[in-house]
Chains A and B, each alone.
Chain A
Amino acid sequence: MTPCPPERIRARRRPGAVALLWAARLLASLLVAWPIAGVFGALGAGRGAERDAVLFEPGALFLLEALRLGDRALLAGLQSAAFSWAVFALLLLVPMAALLVALAHEGRLELGAWLGTALHHVPRFLLLAGITLLGQALLVVVFALAYGGIQRLWIGRASERSADLLSVAWFGLAAAGVLLFSVLQDLARAASVTRQERASDNLVHAVGVLRARPGRVLGTWLVVSFVGIAVVALAAWAVDATHVERPETWRVVTVALTHQLAALALAALRAAWLAFSLRAVGARASAAF
């Protein structure tokens, strides 16, 4: 497989890989969601001419009834779904690695070599994920422990609203730190694919990339994130206009298509961000970056 020069790495050159990520997420989500839908079905939510449209009626009469009657079953279903979700989140490292490998190379990719290369990176991605998760957890713990002391600075001095906003700002800082870890992880993954070094070296390289052009890196991440939020909001608006609480089948189909278009767009945005990450680590401080 031929490495792609950094300046030519673009997500739009690999639609198949983007579609693979979307399809993998869809399949994983089907398997995660199936038991949940089964619980609602067992409650009887699908009975009647309207089927489960009743759950979406304004006022939430039937939805609250489902939560009331099925609280224990739903809780068990959600716990099972959460476990499945975690397993699939790890397995999705494979299509994600495949996407990164596809973006980092040009020309036609031979399936066996492509997937083999992708699988080769998965253990390192797992390690990077573990390190990132640990770092994020530590950050949250530190912020939570410090919160009590920080709060004493404004208790009795600020109004309720000001005190709450200060608390939000404090935990907003924590959230920003958590997101920063995610940004570094993506840069480190990109470095792993292009530079083939150890995980620690990839992390150091990622930090170097961020330090070299923090505005460009974080700005790009923010733009991608905001576009993603806009996509989800637009999909929500379109779905709301479809009135899925009415019984006609075409409404469900329309909503499903709308949602999957949004999911595909999110996969494309992820690919765009990963492409940027590859460009950044491949040509640090160069014209391509």
Chain B
Amino acid sequence: MVARGSALVEASAGLLAFAAAAALLQVAVSPGESPAPAAQTVAPSAPPPSIGPDFDDDRRLASKAAAVASYTIRAALDASTHQLRGSAVISWKNGSAAAVRELWLHLYMNAFKNDQTLFLRSPYGAGRSGARAHAFGYIDVKKLTARELGGRDLWPSADRHSPGEPDDQTDIRVPLPDAVAPGARLTLDVEFVVQLPEIVERTGHSGSFHFVAQWFPKLARLEPDGTWAHFPFHAQSEFYADFGDYEVELDVPDGFVVGATGQRVSEQAGGGRRKLRYRAESVHDFAWTAWDGFRERRDTVAGVAVRLLHPPGHELTAERTLEAIRFGLPHFNRRYGRYPYPVLTVVHPPRAGRAAGGMEYPTLITTGGAWYYPLVGVRALESVTLHELAHQWFYGLVATNEHVWPFLDEGLTSYAELHALQAAYAHTSLAVLPGFGVSIESGHRALAAGRARDEAIAAGASRFENFSALGALVYSRTATVLATFANVYGEAKVASAIGRYARYHRFQHPSPKHLVAALRETLGPEAARALEAALFERGTIDYVVSELVNARARRPAGVFDRKSGRETLLPDHDGAGGDWRARISVYRYGELELPVEIELTARDGSRQRRRWDGRGTWTALHYRGKSPLVAARVDPDRRILLDDNLFNNARSAGSEHTPRVLERAVYWSELSLAVFGP
């Protein structure tokens, strides 16, 4: 449904129709049952008491979003100057409880206007790509009027720059002549010109390749309490916006293949140019690409029309990408709710435009990677495809504030990607080398380990020291936290929690407390406490086997006063024939308390396991058997991936040499001497 000026009337009619249907069908909402969240205009301000099993499947899935900010855009691309001339009609509703006297506009493209913007200012290449700009870009708003406020041009009275940032123009306040009451709608007409930069990060051009993202004047989201969630474009930050419907007409030169958010609804050719119209409902962004070098593949996966655009020579990577989509779409549908859109566009940028790769937009994702990746056993292609596809749920459908809580989309997406890759490829989910496999789980753990103290996982994007820290914590450590909890408490429980969270909050803007509440519901309060410590308090855990001492069990010796009289027992010095006893001390360092098993191995090969709930800072285990204890290992099944140091999880009674390492190093040295030596 496209929101137009009479959206209020349409919404009211819809509500009346729903009420009538409910009365006719005598549908009753029973106590304890969450009402089906149809298109909601605001997210609940408090966690729901219980999401419940109703959201373990798609029965009560919201079918579309309430349209808060809808855009009708026209833009024409000049492929020689890499400029866009555009106009837009923005239909916006004040869904908050407060009247507003100003608007805030995201002009993200101004991040590339000069090298003193917040985005490009760092001399150390703070962005994800680390690249510097060569040809700058910007967006100029020429005119901004509000039909309901007299149609006067509001742009001259807009602030000239972002608050506190004189050289940054990405976060602009526009005062309004009159207040906009709660529930009222505003229709804005805006004209703008965009100069695309040479691609630095995500958006721009390289030769005739254009990737156009964050390119139009975009309203910031107004929160239910009437505060604007506005922010300047930081190099480590992403985006946040309201849902709405988009109708976009793109005017491009003939010969350019175009991919865009949404579904193409019409096409007109003439005068050496083509006009393509796209429609996307219930989304919060619109991106597109145009290049005269794309090749195209199409497929239908789980009822979704998939269109893949790739450079020449990438036939093998195209097939691998489609394989990943064929696996991922049904997989994520089952876990997080059915993908609601009819189309999905996948863009593999050419090498020169690779900075546009690895990114997500509603119904459009960009991948990337060299044509030879499938040949060398690296699963980078599958990884980026599944990651960006998972973003359709965590970012696209559950539209959290990526600036304030990047972990809510990147962390959940990384976990979704991890789970999908593990399901598809097990221990070779990151790389498959001759005789050797590396799992994505191991990869994420290695990236995240040792960084827990740097910053809280749940910190805002600009709080991290650099993108390396953000990546290690927001992406990898979140995935490792969730994988650990799945290992300890049960994968089915974690899957159920995240599935319920994703389904219930579809088309909404939840916060971390909603995620924690969903996990508390299935894992219990203790696990939820540990989760909060891990996410918000830089919580860590390190199990250590600190001591393993064997001794022969000797019979008692000395003078004993029994009831029958005094008894003197001589010491049994060698303890020959007696059992063996051992004491094992295990410590838990860090803030997280997770239950764990400890495996004891005796010399005769027998093994036994003990369980510790992880409470307290240490525990002692006692062993008695015919054979001495030779080793003890905490977490023998490698469940607690969050453990800071895996090598102190074990202790041996005897030597701790490394025969396999020595043997392998000797052999490789011999090989190298045979090849490179005399």
Contacts and interface: CB of A to CB of B under 8 A. Distances in A.
Interface of A: 25-26, 28-30, 32-34, 36-37, 40-41, 43-53, 55-56, 58-69, 81, 85, 88-89, 92-93, 96, 125, 129, 159-162, 164, 228, 232, 236, 239-240, 244, 252, 255-256, 259-260, 262-263, 266-267, 270
B432 to A, nearest CB: 11
Contact of B656 (A36, A44, A66, A236): A44
21 contacts: A28-B669, A34-B662, A36-B665, A44-B650, A45-B658, A47-B651, A47-B652, A47-B656, A49-B599, A49-B630, A49-B633, A51-B660, A53-B660, A58-B437, A65-B446, A66-B647, A85-B673, A88-B673, A89-B676, A160-B312, A259-B663
B631 A25 contact: no
Interface string B653-678: 00111111111011111111110111
A51 B647 contact: no
B631 A48 contact: yes
B587 interface: no
A96 B660 contact: no
Contacts of B648: 44
A32 B647 CA distance: 25
Nearest to B446: A64
Interface string B295-313: 0000000000000000111
Given A29-B669, A59-B427, A59-B439, A45 B434 contact: no
Contacts of B668: 33
- 6 pairs of A and B residues whose beta carbons are closest in the complex: A48-B650, A161-B313, A44-B647, A33-B665, A29-B669, A59-B439
B205 to A, nearest CB: 16
Contact of A37 (B426, B449, B652, B665): B665
A289 to B, nearest CB: 23
B284 to A, nearest CB: 33
B666 A29 contact: yes
A188 B649 CA distance: 56
A53 B633 CA distance: 14
A268 B287 CA distance: 63
A200 B669 CA distance: 31
A256 B661 CA distance: 11
B647 A49 contact: no
A48 B646 CA distance: 11
Given A25-B670, A61-B442, A89-B678, 5 more contacts: A45-B647, A93-B678, A164-B372, A236-B434, A256-B663
A46 B314 contact: no
A136 B607 CA distance: 57
A52 B661 contact: yes
Nearest to B674: A266
A61 B313 contact: no
Most buried by A among B370, B601, B674: B674
Given A25-B674, A48-B631, A65-B449, A160 B371 contact: yes
Given A48-B631, A49-B601, A160-B314, A61 B439 contact: yes
B443 interface: yes
Contacts, number: 199
Most buried by A among B436, B666, B678: B678
Contacts of B443: 64
Contacts of B660: 51-53, 55-56, 244, 252, 255
B127 interface: no
B132 interface: no
B314 A161 contact: yes
Contacts of A36: 661, 665
A26 B638 contact: no
A262 B649 CA distance: 36
A89 to B, nearest CB: 4
Contacts of B619: none
Contacts of A263: 667, 670-671, 674
Contacts of B437: 58-60
Given A29-B669, A37-B661, A244-B660, A162 B313 contact: yes
Interface string B608-645: 00000000000000000000001111000010010001
Given A46-B652, A48-B631, A85 B669 contact: yes
B358 interface: no
Given A159-B312, A160-B350, A26 B670 contact: yes
Contacts of A270: 674
